[in-house]
Chains A and B, each alone.
Chain A
Amino acid sequence: MLEVSNIETGYGDVQVLYGVSLSVKPGEVLCLLGRNGAGKTTLLKSIMGLLPLKSGSISFNGKALHTEPAHLIAKHGIAYVPQGRRLFSELTVAQNIEIGLMVQGRGHQTRERVLELFPRLRERMKQRAETLSGGEQQMLAMARALSTEPRVLLLDEPTEGLQPSMVALIDEVTLKMKNEGVAIVLVEHQLDTVLTIADRVAFIENGRNPETVTTSDLALTPNKVMQYLGVS
Protein backbone atom coordinates (compact mmCIF):
# COMPACT_ATOMS: atom_id res chain seq x y z
CA MET A 1 0.00 0.00 0.00
CA LEU A 2 1.22 3.46 -0.92
CA GLU A 3 0.72 5.95 1.89
CA VAL A 4 1.23 9.67 1.68
CA SER A 5 0.83 11.35 5.03
CA ASN A 6 0.63 15.00 5.74
CA ILE A 7 3.18 16.13 3.16
CA GLU A 8 4.18 19.73 2.62
CA THR A 9 6.26 20.64 -0.40
CA GLY A 10 6.68 23.12 -3.23
CA TYR A 11 9.18 24.71 -5.59
CA GLY A 12 11.84 26.66 -3.75
CA ASP A 13 10.12 29.25 -1.60
CA VAL A 14 6.72 28.65 -3.17
CA GLN A 15 4.81 26.12 -1.12
CA VAL A 16 2.23 24.15 -3.10
CA LEU A 17 1.07 21.33 -0.84
CA TYR A 18 -0.09 21.96 2.71
CA GLY A 19 -0.46 18.66 4.53
CA VAL A 20 -1.91 16.27 1.93
CA SER A 21 -2.59 12.67 2.96
CA LEU A 22 -3.84 9.77 0.93
CA SER A 23 -3.39 6.06 0.42
CA VAL A 24 -3.84 3.57 -2.43
CA LYS A 25 -4.22 -0.20 -2.10
CA PRO A 26 -3.12 -2.78 -4.67
CA GLY A 27 -5.78 -3.18 -7.34
CA GLU A 28 -7.34 0.17 -6.55
CA VAL A 29 -7.66 3.29 -8.69
CA LEU A 30 -7.52 6.54 -6.77
CA CYS A 31 -8.38 9.57 -8.83
CA LEU A 32 -7.08 13.03 -7.96
CA LEU A 33 -9.63 15.65 -8.88
CA GLY A 34 -9.12 19.38 -8.63
CA ARG A 35 -8.71 22.57 -10.57
CA ASN A 36 -5.56 23.42 -12.52
CA GLY A 37 -2.87 24.57 -10.13
CA ALA A 38 -4.39 22.75 -7.15
CA GLY A 39 -1.24 20.67 -6.69
CA LYS A 40 -2.03 17.31 -8.33
CA THR A 41 1.13 17.13 -10.45
CA THR A 42 3.20 18.39 -7.52
CA LEU A 43 1.80 15.53 -5.43
CA LEU A 44 2.83 12.93 -8.04
CA LYS A 45 6.27 14.51 -8.40
CA SER A 46 6.85 14.39 -4.67
CA ILE A 47 5.91 10.71 -4.60
CA MET A 48 8.60 10.15 -7.27
CA GLY A 49 11.11 11.95 -5.05
CA LEU A 50 11.55 14.76 -7.56
CA LEU A 51 10.67 17.42 -4.99
CA PRO A 52 12.08 17.51 -1.47
CA LEU A 53 9.47 17.32 1.32
CA LYS A 54 9.31 20.09 3.91
CA SER A 55 7.46 17.75 6.22
CA GLY A 56 5.35 14.61 6.20
CA SER A 57 6.20 11.16 4.89
CA ILE A 58 5.62 8.82 1.97
CA SER A 59 5.86 5.08 2.34
CA PHE A 60 5.26 1.99 0.25
CA ASN A 61 4.43 -1.27 2.03
CA GLY A 62 5.77 0.21 5.24
CA LYS A 63 9.12 1.32 3.71
CA ALA A 64 9.84 5.05 3.77
CA LEU A 65 10.27 6.45 0.26
CA HIS A 66 10.82 10.13 1.04
CA THR A 67 14.23 9.45 2.59
CA GLU A 68 15.47 7.58 -0.49
CA PRO A 69 17.41 9.30 -3.30
CA ALA A 70 15.10 10.06 -6.22
CA HIS A 71 16.66 7.57 -8.63
CA LEU A 72 15.83 4.65 -6.31
CA ILE A 73 12.07 5.34 -6.12
CA ALA A 74 11.42 3.62 -9.45
CA LYS A 75 13.28 0.53 -8.23
CA HIS A 76 10.69 0.23 -5.43
CA GLY A 77 8.09 -0.40 -8.13
CA ILE A 78 6.68 3.08 -8.61
CA ALA A 79 6.26 4.18 -12.23
CA TYR A 80 5.37 7.62 -13.49
CA VAL A 81 3.57 8.71 -16.65
CA PRO A 82 3.97 12.48 -16.51
CA GLN A 83 1.70 15.09 -17.96
CA GLY A 84 2.70 15.93 -21.52
CA ARG A 85 4.36 12.47 -21.77
CA ARG A 86 7.95 13.72 -21.58
CA LEU A 87 9.44 10.92 -23.61
CA PHE A 88 13.15 10.88 -24.36
CA SER A 89 12.34 12.65 -27.62
CA GLU A 90 15.46 11.90 -29.67
CA LEU A 91 15.67 8.27 -28.59
CA THR A 92 13.84 5.59 -30.53
CA VAL A 93 10.73 3.79 -29.32
CA ALA A 94 12.87 0.74 -28.54
CA GLN A 95 15.34 2.85 -26.54
CA ASN A 96 12.59 4.54 -24.53
CA ILE A 97 11.26 1.11 -23.60
CA GLU A 98 14.82 -0.03 -22.86
CA ILE A 99 15.20 2.77 -20.28
CA GLY A 100 12.07 1.45 -18.57
CA LEU A 101 13.28 -2.16 -18.68
CA MET A 102 16.61 -1.20 -17.10
CA VAL A 103 14.90 -0.03 -13.90
CA GLN A 104 14.24 -3.59 -12.70
CA GLY A 105 16.69 -5.25 -15.05
CA ARG A 106 13.87 -6.82 -17.08
CA GLY A 107 14.31 -8.20 -20.55
CA HIS A 108 12.59 -9.79 -23.50
CA GLN A 109 9.56 -11.20 -21.65
CA THR A 110 8.50 -7.88 -20.16
CA ARG A 111 9.07 -6.12 -23.48
CA GLU A 112 6.81 -8.62 -25.26
CA ARG A 113 4.11 -8.28 -22.63
CA VAL A 114 4.15 -4.49 -22.94
CA LEU A 115 4.15 -4.59 -26.73
CA GLU A 116 1.15 -6.90 -26.69
CA LEU A 117 -0.76 -4.15 -24.91
CA PHE A 118 0.32 -1.61 -27.54
CA PRO A 119 0.90 -3.53 -30.80
CA ARG A 120 1.13 -0.28 -32.76
CA LEU A 121 4.48 0.46 -31.10
CA ARG A 122 5.95 -2.74 -32.49
CA GLU A 123 5.81 -1.25 -36.00
CA ARG A 124 7.55 1.90 -34.79
CA MET A 125 10.42 0.45 -32.76
CA LYS A 126 13.20 2.16 -34.74
CA GLN A 127 11.43 5.51 -35.03
CA ARG A 128 12.43 8.43 -32.85
CA ALA A 129 9.85 9.16 -30.15
CA GLU A 130 9.39 12.76 -31.29
CA THR A 131 8.19 11.58 -34.71
CA LEU A 132 5.23 9.61 -33.30
CA SER A 133 1.67 10.90 -33.30
CA GLY A 134 0.22 12.15 -30.03
CA GLY A 135 -1.65 8.92 -29.39
CA GLU A 136 1.40 6.80 -30.12
CA GLN A 137 3.50 8.98 -27.84
CA GLN A 138 1.03 8.41 -25.03
CA MET A 139 1.15 4.66 -25.69
CA LEU A 140 4.93 4.84 -25.50
CA ALA A 141 4.80 6.80 -22.24
CA MET A 142 2.57 4.06 -20.80
CA ALA A 143 4.78 1.34 -22.28
CA ARG A 144 7.90 2.92 -20.77
CA ALA A 145 6.22 2.95 -17.36
CA LEU A 146 4.89 -0.61 -17.65
CA SER A 147 8.35 -1.86 -18.66
CA THR A 148 9.40 -1.25 -15.07
CA GLU A 149 6.81 -3.86 -13.94
CA PRO A 150 5.37 -1.36 -11.48
CA ARG A 151 3.29 -2.06 -8.41
CA VAL A 152 2.20 1.55 -8.25
CA LEU A 153 1.37 3.52 -11.37
CA LEU A 154 1.13 7.32 -11.28
CA LEU A 155 -0.77 8.61 -14.32
CA ASP A 156 -0.95 12.36 -14.90
CA GLU A 157 -3.72 13.14 -17.40
CA PRO A 158 -2.91 10.18 -19.63
CA THR A 159 -5.79 10.83 -22.03
CA GLU A 160 -5.35 14.58 -22.41
CA GLY A 161 -5.91 15.67 -26.01
CA LEU A 162 -6.42 12.18 -27.45
CA GLN A 163 -9.07 10.91 -29.86
CA PRO A 164 -11.86 8.79 -28.32
CA SER A 165 -10.52 5.42 -29.54
CA MET A 166 -7.13 6.22 -28.03
CA VAL A 167 -8.75 7.29 -24.75
CA ALA A 168 -10.58 3.97 -24.70
CA LEU A 169 -7.33 2.06 -25.24
CA ILE A 170 -5.51 3.91 -22.44
CA ASP A 171 -8.47 3.39 -20.08
CA GLU A 172 -8.57 -0.28 -21.00
CA VAL A 173 -4.88 -0.74 -20.18
CA THR A 174 -5.34 1.19 -16.93
CA LEU A 175 -8.17 -1.15 -15.91
CA LYS A 176 -6.10 -4.17 -16.91
CA MET A 177 -3.27 -3.03 -14.63
CA LYS A 178 -5.76 -2.47 -11.82
CA ASN A 179 -7.05 -6.01 -12.27
CA GLU A 180 -3.48 -7.30 -12.11
CA GLY A 181 -3.20 -5.74 -8.66
CA VAL A 182 -1.34 -2.54 -9.49
CA ALA A 183 -2.19 0.44 -7.29
CA ILE A 184 -3.03 3.39 -9.53
CA VAL A 185 -3.09 7.11 -8.84
CA LEU A 186 -4.80 8.88 -11.73
CA VAL A 187 -5.11 12.56 -12.45
CA GLU A 188 -8.07 12.91 -14.78
CA HIS A 189 -10.52 15.65 -15.68
CA GLN A 190 -13.02 13.57 -17.68
CA LEU A 191 -15.73 12.91 -15.11
CA ASP A 192 -17.27 9.98 -16.96
CA THR A 193 -13.85 8.29 -17.08
CA VAL A 194 -13.40 8.98 -13.39
CA LEU A 195 -16.77 7.46 -12.54
CA THR A 196 -16.12 4.33 -14.60
CA ILE A 197 -12.58 3.44 -13.60
CA ALA A 198 -11.87 5.06 -10.22
CA ASP A 199 -12.64 3.36 -6.92
CA ARG A 200 -12.15 6.46 -4.86
CA VAL A 201 -11.76 10.13 -5.61
CA ALA A 202 -9.47 12.47 -3.65
CA PHE A 203 -10.33 16.12 -4.09
CA ILE A 204 -7.34 18.44 -4.13
CA GLU A 205 -7.99 22.10 -3.47
CA ASN A 206 -5.35 24.80 -2.93
CA GLY A 207 -2.73 22.24 -1.97
CA ARG A 208 -4.96 20.51 0.53
CA ASN A 209 -7.00 17.33 0.44
CA PRO A 210 -10.29 18.32 2.05
CA GLU A 211 -12.07 15.10 1.24
CA THR A 212 -11.68 11.61 -0.24
CA VAL A 213 -14.86 9.76 -1.23
CA THR A 214 -15.69 6.49 -2.91
CA THR A 215 -16.87 6.76 -6.49
CA SER A 216 -20.27 5.34 -5.64
CA ASP A 217 -20.77 8.03 -2.99
CA LEU A 218 -19.68 10.65 -5.48
CA ALA A 219 -22.31 9.50 -7.96
CA LEU A 220 -24.92 10.09 -5.26
CA THR A 221 -23.68 13.58 -4.37
CA PRO A 222 -22.88 15.36 -7.63
CA ASN A 223 -22.84 18.75 -5.89
CA LYS A 224 -19.38 17.85 -4.53
CA VAL A 225 -17.96 18.05 -8.04
CA MET A 226 -19.64 21.43 -8.37
CA GLN A 227 -18.09 22.51 -5.10
CA TYR A 228 -14.50 21.52 -5.94
CA LEU A 229 -14.35 21.95 -9.69
CA GLY A 230 -16.95 24.61 -10.32
CA VAL A 231 -18.85 22.43 -12.81
CA SER A 232 -21.69 19.99 -12.57
Chain B
Amino acid sequence: MEFGPHFLLASLEGAVNAAVLALMAVGLSIVFGIMRVVNVAHGEFFMLGAVLAWWISSLVGAHPAYGFVVALIAAPLIVGAIAALADHFVLRRINYDPERTIVATIGLLYVLQQTTLMTFGPEARPVEAPFNKRIALPWFEKTAEGFSMYWPWGLGTTTYKLAVIAAAAVILIGLWIFMTRSRIGLIMRATQLDSEMALAYGIPVDRVYALVFGMGAAIAALAAVLVVPIQQAHYLMGHDPLLLSFIVVIIGGLGSIPGTIVAAILIGMSDGIISVFFSPTVAKILATLLVAFVLIFRPQGLFGKRVA
Protein backbone atom coordinates (compact mmCIF):
# COMPACT_ATOMS: atom_id res chain seq x y z
CA MET B 1 0.00 0.00 0.00
CA GLU B 2 1.22 3.49 -0.74
CA PHE B 3 1.91 6.02 1.97
CA GLY B 4 -1.34 8.01 1.58
CA PRO B 5 -3.85 5.18 2.04
CA HIS B 6 -1.63 3.61 4.68
CA PHE B 7 -1.60 6.86 6.64
CA LEU B 8 -5.38 7.17 6.39
CA LEU B 9 -5.75 3.64 7.76
CA ALA B 10 -3.38 4.40 10.63
CA SER B 11 -5.24 7.62 11.39
CA LEU B 12 -8.56 5.78 11.61
CA GLU B 13 -7.07 3.27 14.05
CA GLY B 14 -5.60 6.23 15.94
CA ALA B 15 -8.97 7.95 16.07
CA VAL B 16 -10.58 4.89 17.67
CA ASN B 17 -7.72 4.83 20.17
CA ALA B 18 -8.13 8.53 20.86
CA ALA B 19 -11.89 8.23 21.37
CA VAL B 20 -11.57 5.48 23.96
CA LEU B 21 -8.60 7.15 25.61
CA ALA B 22 -10.43 10.48 25.85
CA LEU B 23 -13.29 8.84 27.76
CA MET B 24 -10.96 6.92 30.03
CA ALA B 25 -8.78 9.96 30.79
CA VAL B 26 -11.73 12.29 31.40
CA GLY B 27 -12.91 9.85 34.08
CA LEU B 28 -9.49 10.01 35.72
CA SER B 29 -9.39 13.77 35.31
CA ILE B 30 -12.72 14.59 36.98
CA VAL B 31 -11.83 12.39 39.95
CA PHE B 32 -8.52 14.17 40.35
CA GLY B 33 -9.96 17.61 39.61
CA ILE B 34 -12.80 17.46 42.09
CA MET B 35 -11.48 15.12 44.79
CA ARG B 36 -7.69 15.56 44.40
CA VAL B 37 -7.46 11.76 44.39
CA VAL B 38 -4.94 10.09 42.09
CA ASN B 39 -6.90 6.96 41.26
CA VAL B 40 -4.38 4.24 40.45
CA ALA B 41 -7.23 1.71 40.24
CA HIS B 42 -8.81 3.55 37.30
CA GLY B 43 -7.52 0.98 34.79
CA GLU B 44 -9.16 -1.81 36.77
CA PHE B 45 -12.54 -0.10 36.53
CA PHE B 46 -11.97 -0.10 32.76
CA MET B 47 -11.05 -3.79 32.86
CA LEU B 48 -14.04 -4.60 35.04
CA GLY B 49 -16.32 -2.82 32.56
CA ALA B 50 -14.95 -4.97 29.73
CA VAL B 51 -15.18 -8.26 31.62
CA LEU B 52 -18.70 -7.46 32.83
CA ALA B 53 -19.66 -6.58 29.25
CA TRP B 54 -18.56 -10.07 28.17
CA TRP B 55 -20.32 -11.71 31.13
CA ILE B 56 -23.57 -9.79 30.65
CA SER B 57 -23.71 -10.27 26.89
CA SER B 58 -23.05 -14.01 27.26
CA LEU B 59 -25.88 -14.20 29.83
CA VAL B 60 -28.35 -12.39 27.62
CA GLY B 61 -27.70 -14.55 24.59
CA ALA B 62 -30.16 -13.86 21.74
CA HIS B 63 -28.91 -11.44 19.09
CA PRO B 64 -25.49 -9.94 20.02
CA ALA B 65 -26.99 -6.45 19.79
CA TYR B 66 -29.33 -7.09 22.77
CA GLY B 67 -26.52 -8.34 24.97
CA PHE B 68 -24.38 -5.40 23.97
CA VAL B 69 -27.05 -2.82 24.73
CA VAL B 70 -27.75 -4.37 28.14
CA ALA B 71 -24.01 -4.37 28.87
CA LEU B 72 -23.69 -0.77 27.73
CA ILE B 73 -26.16 0.27 30.41
CA ALA B 74 -25.55 -2.27 33.17
CA ALA B 75 -21.74 -2.53 33.22
CA PRO B 76 -21.07 1.19 33.89
CA LEU B 77 -23.78 1.21 36.57
CA ILE B 78 -22.34 -1.83 38.37
CA VAL B 79 -18.77 -0.50 38.12
CA GLY B 80 -19.90 2.96 39.28
CA ALA B 81 -21.65 1.42 42.28
CA ILE B 82 -18.53 -0.59 43.20
CA ALA B 83 -16.43 2.58 42.97
CA ALA B 84 -18.89 4.56 45.11
CA LEU B 85 -18.69 1.80 47.74
CA ALA B 86 -14.89 1.89 47.58
CA ASP B 87 -15.07 5.65 48.15
CA HIS B 88 -17.37 5.21 51.12
CA PHE B 89 -15.51 2.37 52.81
CA VAL B 90 -11.91 3.18 51.90
CA LEU B 91 -11.16 6.70 50.66
CA ARG B 92 -13.44 8.50 53.11
CA ARG B 93 -11.93 6.57 56.04
CA ILE B 94 -8.48 7.94 55.20
CA ASN B 95 -9.80 11.49 54.78
CA TYR B 96 -8.77 11.68 51.11
CA ASP B 97 -5.20 12.22 52.24
CA PRO B 98 -3.20 12.45 48.96
CA GLU B 99 -0.45 9.95 49.80
CA ARG B 100 -2.70 7.45 51.50
CA THR B 101 -5.26 7.49 48.66
CA ILE B 102 -2.51 6.49 46.23
CA VAL B 103 -1.57 3.50 48.37
CA ALA B 104 -5.24 2.65 48.95
CA THR B 105 -6.07 2.72 45.24
CA ILE B 106 -3.02 0.54 44.48
CA GLY B 107 -4.53 -1.93 46.93
CA LEU B 108 -7.89 -1.56 45.22
CA LEU B 109 -6.21 -2.26 41.87
CA TYR B 110 -5.02 -5.68 43.05
CA VAL B 111 -8.25 -6.53 44.83
CA LEU B 112 -10.27 -5.85 41.67
CA GLN B 113 -7.79 -7.56 39.36
CA GLN B 114 -7.39 -10.73 41.43
CA THR B 115 -11.10 -10.97 42.19
CA THR B 116 -11.78 -10.83 38.46
CA LEU B 117 -9.15 -13.49 37.83
CA MET B 118 -10.64 -15.79 40.47
CA THR B 119 -14.20 -15.20 39.32
CA PHE B 120 -13.91 -15.17 35.54
CA GLY B 121 -10.57 -16.87 34.91
CA PRO B 122 -7.52 -15.79 32.89
CA GLU B 123 -8.91 -16.26 29.35
CA ALA B 124 -9.34 -13.39 26.95
CA ARG B 125 -13.04 -13.11 26.13
CA PRO B 126 -14.46 -11.76 22.89
CA VAL B 127 -17.68 -9.82 22.70
CA GLU B 128 -19.47 -9.72 19.40
CA ALA B 129 -20.11 -6.25 18.03
CA PRO B 130 -23.80 -5.34 17.64
CA PHE B 131 -23.10 -4.44 14.02
CA ASN B 132 -19.86 -4.72 12.13
CA LYS B 133 -20.10 -4.03 8.44
CA ARG B 134 -16.84 -3.55 6.57
CA ILE B 135 -16.53 -0.35 4.63
CA ALA B 136 -13.90 -0.06 1.95
CA LEU B 137 -12.45 3.42 1.67
CA PRO B 138 -11.50 5.10 -1.59
CA TRP B 139 -8.26 6.84 -2.34
CA PHE B 140 -7.35 9.29 -5.09
CA GLU B 141 -4.62 9.01 -7.58
CA LYS B 142 -3.39 11.41 -10.17
CA THR B 143 -3.52 10.07 -13.67
CA ALA B 144 -3.09 11.67 -17.05
CA GLU B 145 -6.82 12.59 -17.08
CA GLY B 146 -6.65 14.27 -13.63
CA PHE B 147 -7.71 12.78 -10.31
CA SER B 148 -9.44 9.46 -10.22
CA MET B 149 -10.79 7.42 -7.35
CA TYR B 150 -9.91 3.83 -6.60
CA TRP B 151 -10.30 1.37 -3.72
CA PRO B 152 -6.89 0.19 -2.53
CA TRP B 153 -6.84 -3.35 -1.22
CA GLY B 154 -6.89 -3.43 2.61
CA LEU B 155 -7.97 0.18 3.06
CA GLY B 156 -11.14 0.09 5.06
CA THR B 157 -12.72 0.28 8.42
CA THR B 158 -15.86 -1.04 10.04
CA THR B 159 -19.13 0.67 10.89
CA TYR B 160 -18.57 -0.34 14.49
CA LYS B 161 -15.25 1.52 14.73
CA LEU B 162 -16.85 4.65 13.33
CA ALA B 163 -19.71 4.23 15.81
CA VAL B 164 -17.22 4.07 18.71
CA ILE B 165 -15.73 7.41 17.64
CA ALA B 166 -19.19 8.96 17.34
CA ALA B 167 -20.36 7.51 20.67
CA ALA B 168 -17.30 8.85 22.49
CA ALA B 169 -17.91 12.30 21.01
CA VAL B 170 -21.56 12.23 22.08
CA ILE B 171 -20.68 11.07 25.62
CA LEU B 172 -18.01 13.75 26.01
CA ILE B 173 -20.34 16.50 24.80
CA GLY B 174 -23.04 15.19 27.14
CA LEU B 175 -20.60 15.22 30.03
CA TRP B 176 -19.54 18.77 29.22
CA ILE B 177 -23.17 19.92 29.20
CA PHE B 178 -23.78 18.05 32.46
CA MET B 179 -20.81 19.72 34.16
CA THR B 180 -21.50 23.25 32.93
CA ARG B 181 -25.30 23.44 32.69
CA SER B 182 -26.83 21.10 35.25
CA ARG B 183 -27.37 21.79 38.92
CA ILE B 184 -25.40 18.71 39.99
CA GLY B 185 -22.55 19.87 37.75
CA LEU B 186 -22.64 23.25 39.48
CA ILE B 187 -22.49 21.56 42.88
CA MET B 188 -19.55 19.45 41.72
CA ARG B 189 -17.64 22.46 40.49
CA ALA B 190 -18.32 24.40 43.69
CA THR B 191 -16.98 21.42 45.66
CA GLN B 192 -13.91 21.34 43.43
CA LEU B 193 -13.19 25.04 43.97
CA ASP B 194 -13.57 25.13 47.76
CA SER B 195 -14.86 22.05 49.53
CA GLU B 196 -14.99 23.72 52.95
CA MET B 197 -17.16 26.57 51.64
CA ALA B 198 -19.29 24.05 49.77
CA LEU B 199 -19.93 22.36 53.11
CA ALA B 200 -20.78 25.71 54.72
CA TYR B 201 -23.28 26.28 51.93
CA GLY B 202 -25.18 23.07 52.45
CA ILE B 203 -23.45 20.83 49.91
CA PRO B 204 -23.05 17.25 51.22
CA VAL B 205 -19.42 16.96 50.12
CA ASP B 206 -19.19 13.27 51.13
CA ARG B 207 -22.02 12.36 48.78
CA VAL B 208 -20.59 14.52 45.99
CA TYR B 209 -17.28 12.66 46.33
CA ALA B 210 -18.97 9.25 46.21
CA LEU B 211 -20.88 10.36 43.11
CA VAL B 212 -17.78 11.75 41.39
CA PHE B 213 -15.70 8.65 42.13
CA GLY B 214 -18.53 6.46 40.89
CA MET B 215 -18.96 8.61 37.78
CA GLY B 216 -15.24 8.51 36.95
CA ALA B 217 -15.25 4.72 37.18
CA ALA B 218 -18.48 4.42 35.22
CA ILE B 219 -17.03 6.48 32.36
CA ALA B 220 -14.00 4.15 32.27
CA ALA B 221 -16.34 1.16 32.20
CA LEU B 222 -18.35 2.73 29.41
CA ALA B 223 -15.17 3.21 27.39
CA ALA B 224 -14.38 -0.47 28.00
CA VAL B 225 -17.78 -1.69 26.83
CA LEU B 226 -17.33 0.32 23.65
CA VAL B 227 -13.86 -1.08 23.00
CA VAL B 228 -14.44 -4.71 23.94
CA PRO B 229 -15.86 -5.81 20.54
CA ILE B 230 -12.56 -4.57 19.05
CA GLN B 231 -10.20 -5.72 21.77
CA GLN B 232 -10.96 -8.77 23.93
CA ALA B 233 -11.77 -8.59 27.64
CA HIS B 234 -9.00 -9.81 29.90
CA TYR B 235 -8.15 -9.36 33.57
CA LEU B 236 -4.83 -7.64 32.81
CA MET B 237 -6.15 -5.24 30.17
CA GLY B 238 -6.26 -2.26 32.55
CA HIS B 239 -2.54 -1.50 32.58
CA ASP B 240 -1.95 0.20 29.23
CA PRO B 241 -5.06 2.41 29.35
CA LEU B 242 -4.09 3.49 32.90
CA LEU B 243 -0.59 4.49 31.81
CA LEU B 244 -1.90 6.32 28.73
CA SER B 245 -4.61 8.05 30.78
CA PHE B 246 -2.03 9.37 33.21
CA ILE B 247 0.09 10.57 30.29
CA VAL B 248 -2.94 12.29 28.77
CA VAL B 249 -4.06 13.88 32.02
CA ILE B 250 -0.58 15.21 32.79
CA ILE B 251 -0.13 16.62 29.29
CA GLY B 252 -3.63 18.12 29.22
CA GLY B 253 -3.38 19.64 32.67
CA LEU B 254 -4.65 17.85 35.78
CA GLY B 255 -8.34 18.44 36.27
CA SER B 256 -8.96 20.26 32.98
CA ILE B 257 -11.57 18.49 30.84
CA PRO B 258 -10.83 20.37 27.58
CA GLY B 259 -7.08 19.83 28.10
CA THR B 260 -7.65 16.14 28.71
CA ILE B 261 -9.64 15.76 25.49
CA VAL B 262 -7.08 17.63 23.37
CA ALA B 263 -4.24 15.58 24.88
CA ALA B 264 -6.18 12.33 24.36
CA ILE B 265 -6.61 13.12 20.68
CA LEU B 266 -2.91 13.99 20.41
CA ILE B 267 -1.67 10.89 22.23
CA GLY B 268 -4.32 8.50 20.88
CA MET B 269 -3.75 9.53 17.27
CA SER B 270 0.03 9.53 17.49
CA ASP B 271 -0.02 6.20 19.36
CA GLY B 272 -2.14 4.71 16.58
CA ILE B 273 -0.13 6.18 13.71
CA ILE B 274 3.32 5.48 15.17
CA SER B 275 2.26 1.93 16.09
CA VAL B 276 1.33 1.26 12.48
CA PHE B 277 4.45 2.78 10.90
CA PHE B 278 7.02 1.87 13.54
CA SER B 279 6.02 -0.14 16.59
CA PRO B 280 3.76 0.22 19.63
CA THR B 281 6.88 0.37 21.81
CA VAL B 282 8.23 3.38 19.91
CA ALA B 283 4.81 5.01 20.32
CA LYS B 284 4.90 4.53 24.12
CA ILE B 285 8.49 5.77 24.31
CA LEU B 286 7.60 8.95 22.46
CA ALA B 287 4.48 9.56 24.57
CA THR B 288 6.45 9.14 27.77
CA LEU B 289 9.16 11.42 26.43
CA LEU B 290 6.51 14.03 25.69
CA VAL B 291 5.31 13.81 29.30
CA ALA B 292 8.86 14.39 30.49
CA PHE B 293 9.12 17.52 28.33
CA VAL B 294 5.74 18.80 29.47
CA LEU B 295 6.77 18.31 33.08
CA ILE B 296 9.99 20.23 32.47
CA PHE B 297 8.69 23.12 30.37
CA ARG B 298 5.03 23.39 31.30
CA PRO B 299 4.47 21.50 34.56
CA GLN B 300 0.83 22.61 34.82
CA GLY B 301 0.04 20.88 31.49
CA LEU B 302 -1.24 22.43 28.28
CA PHE B 303 -4.53 23.69 29.72
CA GLY B 304 -3.84 23.49 33.43
CA LYS B 305 -3.66 26.48 35.71
CA ARG B 306 -0.37 27.32 37.31
CA VAL B 307 -0.70 26.79 41.05
CA ALA B 308 0.21 30.00 42.83
Contacts and interface: CB of A to CB of B under 8 A. Distances in A.
A57 to B, nearest CB: 20
Interface residues of A, number: 25
A70 B199 contact: yes
A90 B193 contact: yes
Interface string B76-92: 00000000000000000
A44 B205 CA distance: 20
B236 interface: no
B201 A148 contact: yes
Contact of B193 (A49, A71, A82, A88): A88
A72 B187 CA distance: 15
Given A71-B205, A86-B194, A88-B194, A48 B189 contact: no
Instruction: Tell me the dominant secondary structure on chain B's binding face.
Output: helix
A95 B201 contact: no
A50 B194 contact: no
A74 B190 contact: no
A214 to B, nearest CB: 30
Interface residues of B, number: 17
Contacts of B183: 102
A73 B200 CA distance: 7
Interface in B176-210: 183, 186-187, 189-190, 193-194, 196-205
B190 A99 contact: yes
B202 A95 contact: no
Given A50-B196, A86-B197, A71 B202 contact: yes
A98 interface: yes
A52 to B, nearest CB: 12
Contacts of A48: 199-200
Nearest to A82: B197
A72 B200 CA distance: 8
Contacts of B189: 88, 90-91
B190 A88 contact: yes
A70 to B, nearest CB: 5
A144 interface: yes
Contacts of A72: 202
Contacts of A67: none
B57 to A, nearest CB: 41
Interface string A66-85: 00011111110000101000
